[in-house]
Amino acid sequence: MTHGKLFVVATPIGNLGDITFRAVEALKSVDFIICEDTRVTSILLHHFDISKPLAVINAHNESKSLERVVERISANESAALVSDAGTPCISDPGVRLVNFAIEKGIEVVGIPGVNAAIMALSISGLPTDAFAFEGFLPQKKGRQKKLQQLAEEERTIVLYESTYRIEKLLEELSEYMPQRQIVVGRELTKKFEETWRGTAEEILTDFEKRNTKGEFVVIIAPPSWKKADSESL
């Protein structure tokens, strides 16, 4: 029975083959799908031959649309929340919707799948027993302070970065954490997937030589971690 439930459905981060059977089933079974951008979600739905009404919840309209969507689910419709890519609510909209649904007594069901941070961690070869997920660093106010704090962080750090600021971020990391081992994953699961390993300065040197556009996850090793430590993992 799907009625009156909110499914939080993870979708691929680039490679459509990475969707799960349960995700497709959930998207086919619900009454409507809540997404960030109808153009992006329509491509996914079209690929899997799914046709459903879409409701949009994003950073611009979240407050207004929440109540409407939750009213529909309370009236026994079922809905799936997706984001443009990966797992909803992880550096993506949806947290307020999930929170509001829980407050209203709606059952929230997760359909797990891809997340760029976890995928990058899994191929990083760096310690994963404890990590600090920081997502996107603040763009202006508070950025330097955050970098100073992260320089003291004892755990592996996970950051998201866009194509526009990746070089700036690497420059900052070479200043604040010059000795740390860093893994940069670009366009994971996609055609131009690539991984760099080294200090921020080493990676930056390679970046400056060629075209490095795309979406990035940056994993930073703990200060105490040396390459030789991998034997003890």
Shortest CB 226 distance to ligand SAM, Å: 26
Choose the stretch contacting ligand SAM; rule: CB under 6 A; options: 17-25, 67-75, 126-134, 188-196.
Answer: 188-196
Contact 216, 185 (CB under 8 A): yes
* Interface with ligand SAM, residue 61, by CB under 6 A: no
Contact 74, 106 (CB under 8 A): yes
**Positions in 148-167 near ligand SAM (CB under 6 A):** 160-162
> Which residue in the block uniquely carries the two structure tokens 């797992």?
87
- Tell me how far apart the alpha carbons of residues 75 and 146 are, in angstroms, rounded to a whole number: 44
Amino acid at 123: I
**Positions in 105-124 near ligand SAM (CB under 6 A):** 115-117
For ligand SAM, the binding residue among 6, 7, 9, 14 (CB under 6 A) is 14
* Interface with ligand SAM, residue 90, by CB under 6 A: yes
> Within 10 Å of residue 120's Cβ, how many Cβ atoms?
23
The two tokens of residue 197 are 């390993």
Residue in the shown chain whose Cβ atom is closest to ligand SAM: 86
CB crowding 194-232: b at 16 or more within 10 Å, else e: eebbebbeebbeebeeeebebbbbbbbbbeebeeeeeee
* Interface with ligand SAM, residue 72, by CB under 6 A: no
- Tell me how far apart the alpha carbons of residues 205 and 116 are, in angstroms, rounded to a whole number: 24
* Interface with ligand SAM, residue 91, by CB under 6 A: yes
Q: What is the total count of residues that contact ligand SAM (CB under 6 A)?
A: 23
* Interface with ligand SAM, residue 216, by CB under 6 A: yes
Shortest CB 104 distance to ligand SAM, Å: 24
For ligand SAM, the binding residues (CB under 6 A) are 13-14, 83, 85-87, 90-92, 115-117, 160-162, 185, 187-190, 215-217
